[in-house]
Homo-oligomer: A and B are copies of this chain.
Amino acid sequence: MMPRAVLLDISGVLHNDGVPLPKAVEAVSRLQEASVALRFVTNTSRKTGAAVYAELRQMGFEVERSQIHTAPSVLKRYVQQHGLRPYLLIHDNLIPEFDDIDETHPNAVVICDAEYRFDYAHLDAAFQILQTGAPLLVVGTNRYFHRQGSLHLDAGPFVKALEYAADTQARVLGKPAPGFFQGVLDEVGVDAGEALMVGDDAEADVAAAIQAGLQGCLVRTGKYRHGDERRTLGCRLEKDLGALVESLG
């Protein structure tokens, strides 16, 4: 039975390292033709929504720009809705995404994977703002990421550093925060119980979506490892996106 909204994680569900997964392009086309609100959701914090869109189109996926929700774009909407003027600790690639945001007299701190901008001067500047009680808004708290065979610091450790220094708690706006899924559903006007989240990450995609009241489907592609479904009670398990769409009919 077709849900009223389908949320698809991107990397590991639609493609691996830029190569579309078998039948994924076709599966997306079928979902676009079905009477379902389709959205593409990703935590990537080193690419603008525009860049994610361009990559998907180049791989042959039939997507609209407005259907893509990146964690930084959700964070940006939160900033705008709350009239915040953030001090931005963001990756260079993200600067265009935030270029229309007022950064004067900051009353919030935003962290999106700043990498080389994570230095004493920038972190201490963020600390000055947090001391006034300003909120700390982040896309995630990942410990590290893989690059060329080794692990490197992700933004999470720097979030923890500032939380500890200012005795505060960051607000996470990307997956697995329940607000991330809810924000997407608010926009499409569908209740969580009528929506399905599809991902390859048993925890951040699927268990988190179920926690937020959505249905969850784990696909055995991307980062899926044998037995991951045991960590997400109540989830649907499918070979891949193609198989899921087939079964939805």
Contact = CB atoms under 8 A, between A and B. Distances in A.
Interface of A: 115-121, 123-124, 127-128, 131, 143-144, 150-154, 156-158, 160-162, 164-165, 167
The 3 closest A-B pairs by CB, nearest first: A157-B161, A119-B119, A161-B161
Contacts of A154: 165
Nearest to A115: B120
A157 B168 CA distance: 12
Contact of A143 (B151, B160, B167): B167
Nearest to A126: B153
Q: How many copies are assembled? A: 2
B131 A151 contact: yes
A121 B127 contact: no
A70 B116 CA distance: 33
A94 to B, nearest CB: 16
Interface residues of chain A: helix, strand, loop or mixed (majority): helix
Contact of A157 (B115, B131, B165): B165
Nearest to A158: B161
Given A143-B164, A157-B162, A160-B161, 10 more contacts: A115-B120, A120-B153, A123-B153, A127-B144, A127-B151, A127-B157, A128-B150, A153-B161, A157-B164, A157-B165
Nearest to A116: B120
A152 B123 contact: no
A41 B161 CA distance: 28
Contacts of A153: 120, 123-124, 127, 161, 165
A128 B153 CA distance: 9
A147 to B, nearest CB: 10
